[in-house]
Structure 1
Amino acid sequence: MSTTTSKPTTAVKKDTRIIDGLNLVVADSYALMALTHLAHWNVEGPDFFPLHKAFQEQYENLFEAVDEVAERVRALDSYVIGGLGTFAKVAQMEEFKSPMPQKDYVAALIVAHEKVMDDATRTRDLAGESSDLQTQDLMIKRLQWHQKTLWMLNSYLKP
């Protein structure tokens, strides 16, 4: 009688395109977090309080997201990129200078969110093609948050 049992396979085949995509989303999210924090610190004007609070909620969410996406890279037995210079080089996100009018902060953050969404969408699609459902689910979760945030930021700019 054989007592050998086979373990179910839970490992996903390592796909460097997915790892690169996740590292890009880490860099994008870190850059967006820094820009959102800059807006939080420097926003002024009649809508200071609601924007200051909204920007704080956004950069706090992004901080958690960076960690979650980075940990997915590690779960895929790969390494996460890091360092401010590396993040800036990889994300290639346009920075803005302060001070700016309130609406300009919001408009600049919209552009940055759209960039993150483009990269997260590509990573989601690659994960789907590779049957990496956990990564696909993570990117879907991030995309939902960015879509909601974009809706709110765009609503602020409506006349």
Structure 2
Amino acid sequence: MKKMYLSLLVLLAVLWISACGGSTKGVINAENNKVEKNETLKAGEFYQYEIVIEDKMNAISVEGEWRVLDGGDRKANVFVMDEENFLKFDKGEQFKNYYSSGEKITDNFKIRLVGKYKTAKTLYYLIFDNPSEEDDKKVEFKLLMDYEWGEGTR
């Protein structure tokens, strides 16, 4: 009986997590600073990609290029934001960003980011938001993070 109850709880947790609006499917960081991917954005949902800034990283720039390959009007909203503003975005609250595309089919950007903490990692998020409630969209993107390795605690 306990095993069945535990299995049911695990199943419910998995279903609850998978029903959330977005998903993280990748990370760009010091070890993996160049990314090329294709992803499918489900109708009305968003995709998040973590940008991890280590405490030893300085003069950080992130360059990106993206386009919607297929799906409805082929438009998406793309943002780069810090962790605090991502939490606001996820709750549907007002948020600030370092890059905002507006609804477009394709765009590119180059932004400077800073490590906010000298003893820990700083997280930023690249967000692809599908404004369509009806059409899934296929997105292609490339990211390159350039930085200098300086002194830190690690």
TM-score by length of 1: 0.24
Instruction: Select the structure with the greater relative contact order (CA < 8 A; seq sep ≥ 6).
Output: 2
Q: Which structure's residues are more often strand, by fraction?
A: 2
Structure with the greater alpha carbon radius of gyration: 1
Q: Which structure's residues are more often helix, by fraction?
A: 1
